[in-house]
A and B are shown apart, each in its own frame.
Chain A
Amino acid sequence: MIRKREFAFLLLIVPALLFYLIFYLYPVVSTFAHSFTDWSLLKRSVHFIGLENYKQLFHDDVVLTGIKNSIIYAVIMTIVQNALAVPLAVALDKNLRSKNLLRMVFFAPAVLSPLVVGFLWSYIMSSLDYGPLNQMLTQIGLGSVNWLGEPKLALYSVILTQVWQWTGWAMVIYLANLQGISKELFEAAHIDGANGWKTFWNITLPLLVPSITINTVLSMIGGLKVFDIIFSMTSGGPGHATESIVTVLLQRAFTDSQLGYASALGVLFSLFVMVVTFLQLRLMKRWEVS
């Protein structure tokens, strides 16, 4: 009986597993296997070269810049996006007259394609006279800023656009969580004389932990894997100032034709994300329990 049930469970898993194995795992594993070779698009033969690619990675300045940028990007995105989204959700959970309209406005950027967002913001942040952002800053007496051309600033400008795009998204998940919390809890707290802040810290925030876990884990993984917005806004420039791991990976794979080398970067990067995610889940679980 149990055997039969277990078999049926496996049967349910099989269709998804087949798709996953054929169209996801097979291409990934076959690429990863090439990380020990000199696989290149420039020649036909492939030779086993052991750990050579991995050794080279640590001497590649651009790779190191990419790693640094992806980490900065992921950490800032995770913190800022969620730190803004939680209060926003709490505020919009209140009985405001315009709450539906406001929710809509905050969520709207999330449905735009990254490609369009990239081009749109390239114009908005343009350092030309008609760049709307600089025109506005000049009008209120602040000087214009070289948003995407200043290497020290460019990455943060990209992050700014992404906070704009994805905060509303996180907000919706928090709102959803808040709606699942019984209102009686808040009323009870109110009767106990707890003020706004106290209620927030002692009741709201702990109850939001499940969605905080989901949001922070997803924005961390998404942040480390960031690619399309950088591709469409700066192409990794000026110089290599905004290069991310995935943009470097694609450059090494296709522009430089060094597929084996890029695969090695892919392997190390996947391991890294795995470790980060694991640690983060552990950390969140500890918080959930306490």
Chain B
Amino acid sequence: MKKVFTVIASLFLLSSLMLAGCGKTDEAGSKENASGAAQSEKKVKIRIMGYNKEETRKSYLDYLKEKLPNVDIEFQFVDLKSFENMLRTQLAAGEGPDIFETSGSGAVYANAGYVEDLTDASFTSKYNDTGLMRYQGKVYTIPLQSWFEGIWYNKDIFEKQGLTPPKTWDEWMTIHEKLRQAGVKPQAMGAKSWEPMMKQSMGMLLNEFYTKPENKDFDAAFSEGTKKVSGNWNEVVSKWTETIQKGNITKDMLGIDYDQAQDEFATGKAAMWESGPWAAEALKQKNPNLNMGMFPIPGLTEGTGWLIGGPGSAFAVNKQSKHKDVAMQILELTATPEAQQALIKDNFGSSFLKGVDVQLPPEYEDSAAAFKEGHVYAPWITWPFGAIAEDYGKSLQEVLTGAKSVDDALKVLDDKAEQQRKSLKGN
């Protein structure tokens, strides 16, 4: 027993020595800083919290640092899986980040009074109206580059099998079939996440439901509670499940993560994979020889197809921020062509800033027509609710396993929406 104690005691001793050592280095560091103390004292700390990784914002952050030498910008990345937990805990405790990333109009945060009203800010008018999402007529978020997702495909495999990107849903189904017969896995999907199936079913809805004139204002009505998805979406989503029945999306995929699916596509084991431009860099890094393109999700009748997307992520300013003026200054700087190009450089998308032209890289040629028609949309980001698309996505996983029918899944979405509408009432 004595021995044990000696060992533990010596460990403590050792560690206190290490601590002392570390204390010293800190001191040295602070001395170094002391020379520039006058400068560093004035440095304002701004915290930006985002769910896109620092790498995908690097050029932009460098640009901000260059333009604002007196501001210490701390970019905090939190994965989407825990982003809302973290952000909402912090906001509710009155200690949120100065600026944070969000998608859509920021309605949830606006309703609770967490975010600054940006409607009359000097930079807001510099953006095209299509990029500004409003909640009750007001602007609370400033769009970064646009976000879109489509189907990445391996051009070499397609060429070898004599295939071209599909123009219709049926063609797309046939492509799956042909690839399967040729011994290639048609589609990779990380369906362990609730997102990919949710998005693909939305692709069908964009083509077949939202294009109909009578459904033009469906999302507004759904947000209000005057319309439900049950009774409206059933037919289209049921049609979409054809891809499950044909075995293009399988139960196996429920055990696969996003990055594992990415791996399958990158290494040529699968011919298609649904994702967005942020994956391009990673794919090329994994397989420099990968020859890939992106096509939009096709509809039943021949057309350009639709991409899932929209204004994408946007920045909101915390109302309780201690340095709101600096936060606004950052947004002001973001509304410059230089900042927009810097954003696009690390993560491709188009800009909503007036007068910024973006060259479409060759990978996206197959989607050019859809872009031209403005066929980029994501219904759920216009809803002023919390993450109810997640519940819908999880229900689709249950549709895949056979535990739920499409009607059940849509009912879950309606119930969730109703519950959110209820708790949004009053503030």
Q: Are B88 and A257 neighbours in the complex by a CB distance under 8 Å?
A: yes
Cβ distance B8 to chain A, nearest Cβ, rounded Å: 16
Instruction: Give the most central of A42, A146, A259: most B CB within 10 Å.
Output: A42
Decide if A148 is an interface residue (CB 8 Å cutoff).
yes
* Distance in angstroms between the alpha carbons of A45 and B424 in the assembled complex: 11
Residues A38 and B423 in contact, CB atoms below 8 Å apart:
yes
Which residues of B, 259-275, contact A by the 8 Å Cβ criterion? 260, 263-264, 269
Residues of B within 8 A of A254 (CB): 84-85, 88-89
Q: Is A235 an interface residue (CB 8 A)?
A: yes
Q: Which residue of B lies closest to A235 (CB)?
A: B81
Closest to A148 in B: B255
* Interface size range on A against B: 35 or more
With a cutoff of 8 Å between Cβ atoms, the chain A residues found around residue B84 in the complex are: 254-255
The reply on A263 being an interface residue by CB < 8 A is no
- A 118-162 contacts with B by CB, 8 A: 122-123, 125-129, 146-151, 154
Bound-state CA distance A234–B108 (Å) is 27
Q: In this assembly, does A244 line the interface, its C-beta being within 8 Å of a C-beta of chain B?
A: no
Q: Which residues of A contact B426 (CB under 8 A)?
A: 43, 45
Q: Which of A127, A239, A257 contacts B404 (CB 8 A)?
A: A239
Task: Encode B74-89 as 1/0 by CB contact (under 8 A) with A.
Answer: 0000000100110011
Chain A positions within 8 Å of B251 at CB level: 146, 149-150
Cross-interface CB contact of B260 among A41, A128, A151, A235, cutoff 8 Å:
A128
Which B residues from 409 to 427 make CB contacts under 8 A with A?
416, 419-420, 423-424, 426-427
Residues in B212-268 with C-beta less than 8 Å from chain A: 251-257, 260, 263-264
A43 and B424 contact, Cβ closer than 8 Å, known pairs A148-B254, A234-B192, A257-B88: yes
Bound-state CA distance A184–B194 (Å) is 60
A44 at the binding interface (Cβ < 8 Å): yes
Cβ-defined partner of B112 (8 Å) among A43, A125, A236: A43
Collect the chain A residues with CB atoms within 8 Å of residue B81's CB. Answer: 231, 235
Inter-subunit contact B108/A238 (CB<8 Å)? no
CB contact between B401 and one of A127, A147, A151 (< 8 Å): that residue:
A151
A256-B420, A258-B423 are known contacts. Are A239 and B111 too (CB-CB below 8 A)? Answer: no
Q: Knowing A45-B427, A237-B192, A256-B420 touch, does A128 contact B89 (C-beta < 8 A)?
A: no
Q: Which residues of B contact A127 (CB under 8 A)?
A: 252-256
A43 to B89, CA, bound (A): 14
Cβ B423 vs Cβ A149 within 8 A = no
Query: Are A250's CB and B85's CB within 8 A?
Result: yes
Task: Please state if A256 and B419 are interface contacts (CB–CB under 8 Å).
Answer: yes
How many B residues, CB 8 Å from partner? 44
Give Cα A164–Cα B256 distance, bound, in whole angstroms.
Answer: 21
Q: Is B394 an interface residue (CB 8 A)?
A: yes
Q: Which residues of chain B come closer than 8 Å to A235, judged between CB atoms?
A: 81, 192-193
Q: Which of B192, B264, B416, B419 has the most CB of A within 10 A?
A: B192
* B424 partner, pick from A42, A44, A149, A237, beta carbons under 8 A: A42
Interface of chain A, main secondary structure: loop
Q: Residue B145 at the A interface, CB < 8 A?
A: no
Contact of A103 with B by CB under 8 A: no
Nearest Cβ on chain A to B287's Cβ, whole angstroms: 15
Question: Given A255-B84, A255-B390, are A126 and B255 also a contact pair (CB < 8 Å)?
Answer: yes
Whether the Cβ atoms of A257 and B192 lie closer than 8 Å is no
In the complex, whether A78 has a CB less than 8 A from a CB of chain B is: no
- Asked whether any CB of chain A lies closer than 8 Å to the CB of B398, the reply is yes
B427: A residues at CB distance < 8 A:
42-45
Give the contacts of A1-52 with B (CB-CB under 8 A): 38, 40-45
Instruction: State whether B108 touches A42 (Cβ < 8 A).
Output: yes
A124 to chain B, nearest CB (A): 11
Is B196 part of the contact surface with A, judged by Cβ < 8 Å?
no
Residue of A123, A240, A257 contacting most chain B CB atoms (<10 Å): A257
Assembly CA distance A231 to B269 (angstroms): 28
Complex contact B192–A238 (CB within 8 A): yes
Give B156-192 as 1s and 0s: 1 = Cβ < 8 Å from A's Cβ atoms.
0000000000000000000000000000000000011
Q: Which of B18-37 contact A (CB under 8 A)?
A: none
B176 to chain A, nearest CB (A): 18
Contacts of A257 in B (CB 8 A): 88, 108, 386, 423
B77 to chain A, nearest CB (A): 16
Mark contacts of A59-83 with chain B using CB atoms, 8 A cut-off: 1 yes-contact digit, 0 otherwise: 0000000000000000000000000
Q: Does B91 contact A (CB under 8 A)?
A: yes
- Chain A residue with minimal CB distance to B114? A41
Assembled-state Cα–Cα distance A147/B253 (Å):
11
Interface status of B7 (Cβ within 8 A of chain A): no
Closest residue on chain A to residue B427 by CB atoms: A43
Cβ B423 vs Cβ A43 within 8 A:
yes
- Contact between B397 and A42, CB atoms less than 8 A apart: no
Assess the A41–B255 pair: CB atoms within 8 A: no
Interface centre among A122, A127, A148 (most CB of B within 10 A): A127
Distance between Cα atoms of A263 and B340 in the complex (Å): 43
Residues of A209-255 whose CB lies within 8 A of B: 231, 234-241, 250, 254-255
- The 8 A CB mask of A243-283 against B (1 = contact, 0 = none) is 00000001000111111000000000000000000000000
- The verdict on B303 contacting chain A, using a C-beta distance below 8 Å, is no
| B403 proximity list for chain A (CB < 8 A) | 151, 239
**B:54-93 near A, CB below 8 Å:** 81, 84-85, 88-89, 91-92
A-B contact pairs, 5 of them (CB 8 A): A146-B254, A148-B192, A238-B400, A255-B85, A257-B108
Closest 5 CB pairs of A and B: A149-B255, A149-B254, A239-B398, A127-B255, A148-B255
| Interface, chain B (partner A; CB < 8 A) | 81, 84-85, 88-89, 91-92, 108, 111-113, 191-194, 251-257, 260, 263-264, 269, 386-387, 390, 394-395, 397-398, 400-401, 403-404, 416, 419-420, 423-424, 426-427
Supply 9 further A-B pairs (C-beta < 8 A) apart from A41-B88, A149-B192, A257-B386: A42-B427, A43-B427, A122-B260, A234-B192, A235-B193, A237-B192, A238-B191, A239-B394, A254-B88
Q: Which chain A residues have a beta carbon within 8 Å of chain B's beta carbons?
A: 38, 40-45, 122-123, 125-129, 146-151, 154, 231, 234-241, 250, 254-259
